[in-house]
Structure formats: structure tokens, C-alpha cells
Amino acid sequence: MSDTLDAIVVGLGAMGSNALAVLARRGKRVLGLDRFDPPHNFGSSHGGSRVIRLSYFEHPDYVPLLKRAYDAFDRLAQDSGETLRIENGLVMGGAPGNAVAAGMLRSARTHDLPVSALDGAELMRRYPQFTVPADWEVVFEARGGFVRPEATIRAALAAAARDGARIERETPIAAWGSDGRTAWVETARGRFEASALILAAGAWMPACTGTRQSGQNPLRLTPTRETLVWIDDEGDPDWHATRMPVWLFDRGNEPAVYGVPAFDLMGAPGGMKVGLHGSGGPVRPEQICEPVEPAIVRKTVQAMQERLRGAAGRRVTGACSCLYTMSKDGHFAVGLHPDHSNVAIAAGFSGHGFKFAPVIGEALADLAIGGETHLPIGFLAPGRLLKNGTF
Ligand SMILES: Cc1cc2nc3c(=O)[nH]c(=O)nc-3n(C[C@H](O)[C@H](O)[C@H](O)COP(=O)(O)OP(=O)(O)OC[C@H]3O[C@@H](n4cnc5c(N)ncnc54)[C@H](O)[C@@H]3O)c2cc1C
């Protein structure tokens, strides 16, 4: 098959599984390879839920991609017969002047999105589950909620396979290259060639993006190990997603604390899943298997208890590690490889990429096959992250 493939996708997590599904749907001959057996617990896409929201505080340029991602999640859900997106609302903010609420309002204004700016007192009146200072500034977005990462990846891979994609699990690539017309990968199962290559290896991208000329990690990405903690809801209906929104509270110089309430279909331990955004230190991806640090679990529980009424004493039912891949500016790197016009890169999702997975998959498929995309991803061009502008 070596000279008949249109594209090879390396990494079948959030981005790669969706790129593979889009390519196969378009009738392309494609091969997808993964180091493990996706969906799995060794990368960035496990833990039952990922927050999705429209009024993006990080930058308004993400909003058109998000609108498309919402539709794409719903199409995939319909196609697979699975519930993939839950719209239980979302509240985010913090002390007066916090950048999160300000950024959400900016995106909402720019793209005419319906949100409500509330003070802490009004938030607690609407949702007595929270306890925050009365003068806090928060934003409520009814269309916020969460998506189900493992179910999404499973659905994308099933769609890809149904449309003819070849999928090789437990098959890490050891090397790749391209002469501009043909790209290749080396694996223990042999060498594969295609007209185009997509690199979407998550926290392993530092090792995957380099070329012989550039050495490793030209995009200067840093994997970090983050901790997720599950808290027993003790059957409290006020902690269920039917009554409670997803939440995130800014804590100034400390990592923001967030929580995603359980939903019956989540397939995860349930209760409330909480975390401290970006609190982990740099690691090699393999270190995800090291034991969760009790100190970070304690800090996470404490931060959660400060903001949820009646949370004191509720039991920790589970904890796990998950990998962020941080870029220098916290924005993604999606585009063509600066040295290879037939190699597309998806990297550096910096702890907020999952909600974009189906639309990034579409952009990657466009880039791999046509060398360009009409999707507005120019602001994510990988070249901006290079040290001297070159690989
Ligand atoms: C704790 C936590 C909370 C998060 N919360 C949110 C959130 O609420 N909302 C949100 O939008 N995002 C969130 N994110 C971020 C989001 O989950 C990630 O941005 C996204 O999952 C990254 O997808 P990916 O495809 O780059 O990586 P992955 O899904 O990890 O996929 C990479 C794949 O590449 C494979 N691979 C690696 N090396 C090789 C190789 N050499 N050969 C073959 N295959 C290889 C891996 O096995 C893996 O399957 C969170 C992340 C974490 C860790």
C-alpha cells in the first residue's frame, strides 16, 4: 500500500482521530497510527469531560472556530448515536477586574454572543451551590457546558473505519520525513508512505516536530502533568449537571480552580470533577504514569471547598494525571510545517484544545490534501513559535 495513500495521520487522540474521520469521509485513502490504543489514559484526552464554551476569554479569534466545532460535535453525535455534548451552562470569573470575565465579555461583544454579566451576589441567588464574595464579577453563558473526550474519539475512529480508513494501534512512529512530494513514517510494522502527513502526537510533539536539521522541539513546547480530582456528590441533586453549570474561578496569581458536575452518561467516576488549571510542572510524557501527588490533591480540594457551599468533608473518590502541552504564548500551533508543504502540524493545545477537536480535524484535512484551508486559523500559524523564525 506504500505508494497509494493520500495521507498518514500520526496520533489518534483528539485532533488526529477527527482529522482521520474527515479525510476518510472525503473518500481519501488514509492510515492512522497511534502509540497506544485510543481512547486511552496516557495522553491529554481522558477523564470523562472537557469544558466547551463560546465567549472565549483567551481571544475573540477563536469564536468562529468554536461555532463550527459546536455543529461538528453535534453531527458526530448524531452519526454515532452517542451524547457527546452537554449544555448545562457555564459560569466563569473572579475578583473585580479579573481578566477571565473581561475576556469573555470582549468575545461576546465582538461576536454578538448572548451572555450575562453578574456580580457574586446575583450568582449565589441563582446558584446557591456557590459561595463567592458579593462584589465578584462573573459571566454566565447558557451555551457553555462540556463534551465527552473518550466518547468523541471513539466516535471519530468508528466513523473513520466505517469510511475505509486503516487504523494501526500500538504503533508508534520512530521517525518521519518528506521530500515535499512523498512523506514517510518508520514504525516497528514497517515504513509507510503517503502524499501528505499529519502530525498530531499531543505531548509527544516536541519529539515529533523536529527534523534532522532542527534537532528536537523547534516549536519550544512544554508538556506538563496536571491533576484531576473527583469529589463524591453524596447524591446531592444540586451537584448534578441538570442543576449546576460548569464553573471556573480566577485566583489571581494562583492557578484558576474549575469544576465539571457529573452527568449520568459521562462514564467517569461521577460526582464533581475539579482541577487547578495549569498547576502542573514540566514532565516527559511517560511521567504521566507516576503516582498522583497527594499535596496537589489537597490543594485542589481546598480551592474547591472555598467556592462550593457544603463541600467540606465530601470524599475524594479518585484522581488522575493528564498532560497539557504548553506553547510559549498559550495558543495552539496549527498549520503547515514551515519546511514541508505536505506536512500539517497540530500542537501546543495548552490545556484548552479539546473543544476544537472536530474543527481542527477539518483544518488538518484541508491542509494535508489541498495545502490550504478556508477556516480562520491564520492566528495559530506554527511559525510564530520558532526561536529564530526557522526550523
Ligand atoms: C486535565 C486536563 C483538563 C483539560 N480540560 C480541557 C477543557 O476543559 N476543555 C478543553 O477544550 N480542553 C481541555 N484540555 C485540553 C485538551 O484535552 C487537549 O488540548 C487535547 O486533548 C489535546 O489533543 P491532542 O490530539 O493534541 O493530544 P492527545 O489526545 O493526547 O493525542 C495525541 C496522540 O498521539 C499519540 N502519539 C504520541 N506519540 C506518537 C507516536 N510517536 N506515534 C504514534 N502516535 C503517537 C498518543 O498516543 C495520543 O493518542 C484539558 C487537558 C487536560 C490534561
- Among protein residues, the one with the nearest Cα to ligand 1's atom 20 is 354
202 Cβ inside 6 Å of ligand 1: yes
330 Cβ inside 6 Å of ligand 1: no
Q: Are residues 294 and 162 in the same domain?
A: no
Dist. CA 38 → ligand 1 center (Å): 11
pLDDT in the model for residue 235: 87
Q: Are residues 135 and 242 in the same domain?
A: yes
204 Cβ inside 6 Å of ligand 1: yes
Kindly report, residue by residue over 158-179, the tens digit of the pLDDT. 999 999 999 999 999 999 999 9
**Any domain includes 390:** no
Kindly report, residue by residue over 306-320, the tens digit of the pLDDT. 999 999 999 999 999
Q: What is the mean pLDDT of each run of 10 residues along the chain (391 residues)?
A: 81 98 98 98 96 98 98 98 96 98 98 98 98 98 97 98 98 94 95 98 88 73 97 92 96 97 70 96 95 97 97 94 97 94 97 98 98 98 82 59
- Among protein residues, the one with the nearest Cα to ligand 1's atom 4 is 351
Q: Are residues 317 and 279 in the same domain?
A: yes
* 218 close to 327: Cβ distance less than 8 angstroms: no
Range of the domain at 34: 5-46+150-219+329-385
245 Cβ inside 6 Å of ligand 1: no
Decide which of 326, 359, 374 is a domain's last residue: 326
Q: Are residues 234 and 125 in the same domain?
A: yes
Q: Are residues 154 and 14 in the same domain?
A: yes
322 Cβ inside 6 Å of ligand 1: yes
Q: What is the 3-state secondary structure (H, E, C) of the chain?
A: CCCCEEEEEECCCHHHHHHHHHHHHCCCCEEEECCCCCCCCCCCCCCCCEEECCCCCCCHHHHHHHHHHHHHHHHHHHHHCCCCEECCCEEEEECCCCHHHHHHHHHHHHHCCCCEEEEHHHHHHHCCCECCCCCCEEEEECCCEEECHHHHHHHHHHHHHHCCCEEECCCCEEEEEECCCCEEEEECCEEEEEEEEEECCHHHHHHHHCECCCECCCCCCEEEEEEEEEECCCCCHHHECCCCCEEEEEECCEEEEEEEEECCCCCCCCCEEEEECCCCCECCHHHHHCCCCHHHHHHHHHHHHHHECCCCCCCEEEEEEEEEEECCCCCCEEEEECCEEEEEEEECCCCCCHHHHHHHHHHHHHHHHHCCCCCCCHHHCHHHHCCCCCC
The pTM for the full model equals 0.97
Rounded to whole angstroms, how far apart are CA atoms 230 and 245?
Answer: 16
**Any domain includes 211:** yes
Q: Give the nearest ligand 1 atom to 40 CA.
A: 49
Decide which of 326, 344, 374 is a domain's last residue: 326
45 Cβ inside 6 Å of ligand 1: yes
- Among protein residues, the one with the nearest Cα to ligand 1's atom 27 is 202
User: Quick one: which of 343, 328, 17 has its CA closest to 163?
Assistant: 17
228 Cβ inside 6 Å of ligand 1: yes
Dist. CA 238 → ligand 1 center (Å): 31
**Any domain includes 81:** yes
Dist. CA 223 → ligand 1 center (Å): 10
Q: Are residues 112 and 215 in the same domain?
A: no
Amino acid letter at 3? D
The set of cell numbers assigned to 146 is 462540556
Dist. CA 323 → ligand 1 center (Å): 7
* 53 close to 205: Cβ distance less than 8 angstroms: no
205 Cβ inside 6 Å of ligand 1: no
* 65 close to 311: Cβ distance less than 8 angstroms: no
CATH of the domain at 37: 3.50.50.60
Dist. CA 13 → ligand 1 center (Å): 6
pLDDT in the model for residue 267: 60
Q: Give the nearest ligand 1 atom to 146 CA.
A: 8
Dist. CA 116 → ligand 1 center (Å): 31
Q: Ligand 1 test: best mutation among 50, 66, 192, 323, most atoms within 8 Å of CB?
A: 50
Decide which of 287, 305, 326 is a domain's last residue: 326
Q: Are residues 196 and 138 in the same domain?
A: no
pLDDT in the model for residue 269: 65
CATH of the domain at 290: 3.30.9.10
**Any domain includes 91:** yes
349 Cβ inside 6 Å of ligand 1: yes
Q: Are residues 66 and 84 in the same domain?
A: yes
304 Cβ inside 6 Å of ligand 1: no
Q: Are residues 247 and 174 in the same domain?
A: no
**Any domain includes 391:** no
Dist. CA 207 → ligand 1 center (Å): 15
**In the chain, how many domains are there?**
2
- Among protein residues, the one with the nearest Cα to ligand 1's atom 33 is 11
Dist. CA 16 → ligand 1 center (Å): 10
Q: Are residues 375 and 233 in the same domain?
A: no
Q: Are residues 105 and 177 in the same domain?
A: no
Q: Are residues 226 and 298 in the same domain?
A: yes
